[in-house]
Amino acid sequence: MAPHHVLKCCQRSLAWIPVIFINLVVGWSYYAYVVELCIFTIPNNAEKISYLGVFHLFFIMFIWSYWKTICSRPVSPSKEFCLAKVEKEQYEKEQPDAQQDILKKAAVGLPVYTRTGTGAVRYCDHCQVIKPDRCHHCSTCDMCVLKMDHHCPWVNNCVGFSNYKFFVLFLAYSMLYCVFIAATVLQYFIKFWTNQLPDTHAKFHVLFLFFVAAMFFISILSLFSYHLWLVGKNRTTIEAFRAPVFRNGPDKNGFSLGFSRNVVEVFGDQKKYWMFPIYTSPWTAFQNSPINKLVHM
């Protein structure tokens, strides 16, 4: 048992490497922009102040949403989705066909409408719970996660019901952070590149800052656009690749409530809070919608 615990501990420690890398890059970008560019390179004080004001706005929102994504613990199914002790003991003794009969009886009354590809009740043998709709087991987090989208190594966390809004905002603000840096650094990048400015210790930072910001902006833009599309369709990354199966068969639009309501499902119904990484998502999931209950009964 000891080696297993040591291995688990090592895996958990190594999982923080991407997060540490991102924080080191962001920390360096802060130093390079504020100190090397604004303090040592830009001569105009008014330009300095305006750049620093907008920069810090994007920086704060980026860091806030990033760490909210990291620190928000994934939500697991409630106790009502667990088998009773007697049912669990009986389930472990039976053959697969009989096990399904037990699960079907246990699922009666639960807001569960999706099935496996073969039409069986979705059950996690590891967590020993009947899976709610859109719930999947994450082997990295070692738990079932409600409305699981994917496990993201860059935040060392599962992106799902509890933090999907924060994740989308993290992508948005990181993209704005990068594009603002690239746009404001560009003129000084050209001046250093063409030797219009003297060679100083700021030159390396400014040149490298532009390349890093532009590279990250391009990569984040495609990911952000994809997740905006998912929000509009009310799909997760998992559902985009594999349509959820209902009692009447697969339906890739099975959770869609219309564009406006799909956005509200992620960002909440109070628009004034949409741009802030605070929890505003309603607890009204698909399975509690009367319309969809009638559709998939």
- Distance, in Å, from the CA atom of 135 to the CA atom of 148, rounded to the nearest integer, reads 6
Please tell me the chain's helix, strand, coil percentages from 3-state DSSP, rounded to the nearest 5: 60, 10, 35
CB 267 within 8 A of CB 281: yes
- Distance, in Å, from the CA atom of 266 to the CA atom of 162, rounded to the nearest integer, reads 10
* Tokens read off for 195: 């030797």
Is 152 in the active site?
yes
Catalytic residue among 138, 144, 152, 178: 152
Q: What is the total residue count of the chain?
A: 297
* Tokens read off for 12: 């958990």
How many helices, marked H, and strands, marked E, lie in the chain? 10, 9
User: Nearest Cα to 65, choosing from 97, 26, 36?
Assistant: 26
Which residues are catalytically annotated? 152
